[in-house]
Amino acid sequence: MKKHKRRIIFVLVLALISTYLFFEMTQFAPNRYKLRIETVQSEKIPEQFNNVSIAFFSDIYGDTEHLKQAIESINDFNPDIIIFNGNLFDTIPTEEQGNEYTALFKSMKSKLGKFAVLGNKDYELSFETSQNILNKADFRVLSNQALTIHNGDDARIKLTGLDSNTLNKESLDSILTEDDSELFDIVFAHNPDIIDSLSSNYIDLFLAGKSLGGRVVIPFVGPILDSPKHYKRISKVNDTPLIITSGLGLDDPELRLFSNPETVIVVLKSGNKN
């Protein structure tokens, strides 16, 4: 009899855990939007860039509600720089959707500029539409390009946007050079795994998306669905800090576990770490 009761209890507990995990993956986690704040400190960051903030987000997949939440939290924080890491839609957008997203992206304000790279879905589904939305919303789309951002008369940092769809060794060699190596260089791309192909000598911070935070992550196991090699929220690759946003929306399957939709704010700090 006791053995029979133990079996019943075991089955009930297993059923409760399974039910919780089902709703966590399909309902709770996919809708648990967060604003995450990270701090990056370096002696290469000029004093004039101390406390300068960068908001970056990615992988909307047509999730307008989460995009609106992200824009509200970004505008409330009032960052100095805004970066979009690609993937606007999960299906070919209508003209109405394109107009709506243009207005939403245009409503984001920043002191030092708005920048973007395109993601794999942007190329597969809606290259011209994605490009037009971002351009009309005053985002500068970078495709294997580097520029300097000024804050004050002489203070500047370097911002490099890598286009993972057309990346090749020649383009990397021409962009990631030791020219301006004294500048704090922020590199951003859609795919975090690009960092493995780069020389870390000239990169001080790498920002990426795509991974969706691993989407469904089992503790001590890792992602069980297809995911880039690099999916953790923050890590170091060859001494370069890699910060990844888990994105706003989802493509199929629409599941998350230990991976919330989010916007990331990076606050720059000048000087050595204590």
Condensed to tens digits (0 to 9), the pLDDT of residues 15-61 reads 899 998 999 999 999 999 999 999 999 999 999 999 999 999 999 99
Q: How confident is the model at residue 196 (pLDDT cuts 50, 70, 90)?
A: confident
Q: How confident is the model at residue 238 (pLDDT cuts 50, 70, 90)?
A: confident
**For position 171, what pLDDT does the model report?**
61
- What would the two tokens of residue 237 be? 């690759």
Q: What is the mean pLDDT of residues 222-240?
A: 92
Q: What is the mean pLDDT of residues 227-235?
A: 94
**For position 226, what pLDDT does the model report?**
87
Q: What is the mean pLDDT of residues 232-261?
A: 94
C-beta atoms surrounding 242 within 10 Å: 20
Residues 6+ apart with CB under 8 A from 185: 146, 157, 158, 159, 160, 202, 203, 204, 205
Q: What is the mean pLDDT of residues 219-233?
A: 91
Q: Is 177 helix (H, G, I), strand (E, B) or coil?
A: coil
pTM: 0.93
Residue for token digits 């989010």? 262
Find, among 110, 215, 90, the residue nearest to 101 by Cα: 90
**For position 177, what pLDDT does the model report?**
65
**For position 197, what pLDDT does the model report?**
82
Q: What is the mean pLDDT of residues 134-158?
A: 92
pLDDT in tens, 92-143: 999 999 999 999 999 999 999 999 999 999 999 888 999 999 999 999 999 8
**For position 220, what pLDDT does the model report?**
87
Whole-angstrom Cα distance, residue 48 to residue 67? 31
* 104 vs 239 pLDDT, higher one: 104
Whole-angstrom Cα distance, residue 265 to residue 69? 14
**For position 174, what pLDDT does the model report?**
66
Whole-angstrom Cα distance, residue 157 to residue 187? 11
CATH superfamily ID and name for 34-270? Metallo-dependent phosphatases (3.60.21.10)
* 12 vs 136 pLDDT, higher one: 136
3-state helix, strand, coil in the chain (%, to 5): 35, 25, 40
Q: How confident is the model at residue 172 (pLDDT cuts 50, 70, 90)?
A: low
